[in-house]
Chain A
Amino acid sequence: MPSENEITLGPKRSDGWRKVSAEVSGKDVSHLYYGPAKVRVGRHAAVTMACIGGVGTDKQHRRKGLARRVFAQAVAAMQGDGYTVAGLFTSRRLVAHRLYRRSGFVDVSSGRVAYKVLDPAAFARRGLSFLVQQSPELGRRRLTLRLCFERSRTVYLKIEGNDVSVLSRAPRRLDLSLTMSPTTFLELSASGIGLSQAVGAKLVQWSGDAGAFDTLAKAIAAFQRPVDEE
């Protein structure tokens, strides 16, 4: 565990960015970067904000208070550099969000997006293929699925031998039927939430074989983005 003086503030680069890091046995295990960006406050004022990015702590060094100390050192360094305001993008799902809030940062704005699935079959196939790549267990099992996206047509798919194929019609034997919005599917297949969690939140309706559901839920859980990533 490094002592306070082992949190180091890197030199200012030509573009104004700096690195703040904690080292253990000479190895950088927790760090962040900050640098200048102009933000407008109304029509007549542009303020140079310290933008924070690249926040990360090695997995084996998390939950030791390192990120908190790096962050505190960085905030002090930003004040020393003359910044009057600091900002960062993060996710409310990350533990780091709580760290930032404890440090006084407030949620200023959250994003909105609108989705349209242009090709439901390709969309579903791509998402499931990603899952199969991440979870070999899923690829070892033969599964037939019915995926129904709101406002889009239903897609039938088959997972077999690490391959995902789109079926032209409903298979004779269907293992699992899932109905969800495209955004939920994106979250499930990309990183966001677990399948059981999504069912609990009524984001997904399902019917079919419980074993097939478990296999899919485990596959998604296996690669879910850790909430303490930062």
Chain B
Amino acid sequence: MSPRRKEMTIRSFREGDEQVLAHLFNAYVSDFVGPIRLTPRAWRAQFRRRSWTGPSLTDDSDCCRIAEAEGRVLGYALTDYKPFWREDTAVVQELCAVDESGAEDVMQALLADAEQRALAREKSCLILTLSPEDGRSSGAAASSGYEEHREHEVFMALVLDLSGFLEEIAPTLSARLAESLLREWRGSVKILSGDQSFGLLCADGSVTVGPALDEPDVTLAVRPEALSLLLLGRETIGELYVQDAVSLTAADAAEALSLLDALFPRLPLFLPRAQWW
């Protein structure tokens, strides 16, 4: 047991905690889905009233348990003790801890606390939902005797309108370019997929979306079935390239690949729970 574990206490949620919990959630999730800024209000709104996707913190503040030491929040676990689909289980929906040494101890303590509360509510099984890329919760669960299982449930998506989608994500494309080693790159990119085409104009670390130029510096042809994989952060341009799902025409192919890797990294979509249904 680490020294911190001795000092740590776990308590239930109190109104106002959302200020620090939203910050903690953003920092934790950003490690694997990219930068997220869920406001405290939005975080709290997810648990305003009971829904099939989660518990109500308004009715049961015990659903959210907060680990702290010397008045500082170290982590929290949010547990649904009444999932609609199986009455003898409880589901830990969020398990977050500050990113510092001892974080796994914090997560294990929160899991142990959830287990005790689940047993007190006559639940025979505790389930921890994990984001595919969340290695920290996964590690804490394994150390606490949990068995991991990949579910057959899947989130599927389709880009319906290439140009419209690129226009919507243009601010993100600009930020990605500006943060990359190719921030000084100037030129045009033409993206072709099926009967859709569109252009990206890169200059001064910014990306503008518009109709494709006739003679672009880079032409990327993407097989229609691969377009959503690329734009939604499921597969990188390099991965699609080796699968022969994309073809690239550029004077400097290596540079073009690096540019497209910077613009379209492997990064899962972030879908806040409250937004679904």
Contact = CB atoms under 8 A, between A and B. Distances in A.
Interface stretch (B11-19, B72-80, B158-166, B213-221): B158-166
B106 interface: no
Nearest to A75: B160
Contacts of B159: 84-85
B155 A89 contact: yes
A93 interface: yes
A91 B125 contact: no
Contacts of A101: 156
Given A43-B36, A150-B147, A86 B269 contact: no
Given A45-B170, A108-B232, A113 B127 contact: yes
Contacts of A75: 158, 160
A181 interface: yes
Contacts of B234: 106-109
Contacts of A115: 125-128, 146-147, 149
A109 B229 CA distance: 10
Interface string A79-120: 100111111111111000100110111111111111111111
A162 interface: no
B152 to A, nearest CB: 5
Given A104-B228, A106-B228, A117-B124, A42 B154 contact: no
A79 B161 contact: yes
Interface stretch (A18-26, A32-40, A137-145, A213-221): A32-40
B171 A109 contact: no
Given A79-B161, A118-B115, A119-B124, A37 B150 contact: no
A132 to B, nearest CB: 15
A12 interface: no
Contacts of A118: 115, 118-119, 123-126
A84 B168 contact: yes
A47 interface: yes
Contact of B154 (A53, A89, A182): A89
Interface residues of B, number: 68
A51 B273 CA distance: 12
B176 A110 contact: no
Contacts of A192: 152
Contacts of A116: 115, 125-126, 128, 141, 144-147
Nearest to B95: A114
A113 B149 contact: yes
Contacts of B141: 114, 116
Contacts of B176: 42
A114 B147 contact: yes
A42 B267 contact: yes
Contacts of A53: 277
A7 interface: no
A104 B158 contact: yes
A230 B168 CA distance: 32
A105 B157 contact: yes
Interface of A: 37-45, 47, 49-51, 53, 75, 78-79, 82-93, 97, 100-101, 103-120, 122-123, 126, 150-151, 181-183, 186, 190, 192
Given A47-B168, A115-B146, A182-B147, 5 more contacts: A44-B174, A45-B171, A106-B232, A114-B142, A122-B122
Closest 7 CB pairs of A and B: A42-B172, A43-B35, A114-B146, A44-B171, A84-B164, A122-B124, A123-B124
9 contacts: A43-B172, A86-B160, A97-B154, A103-B158, A107-B156, A110-B155, A113-B149, A116-B128, A122-B122
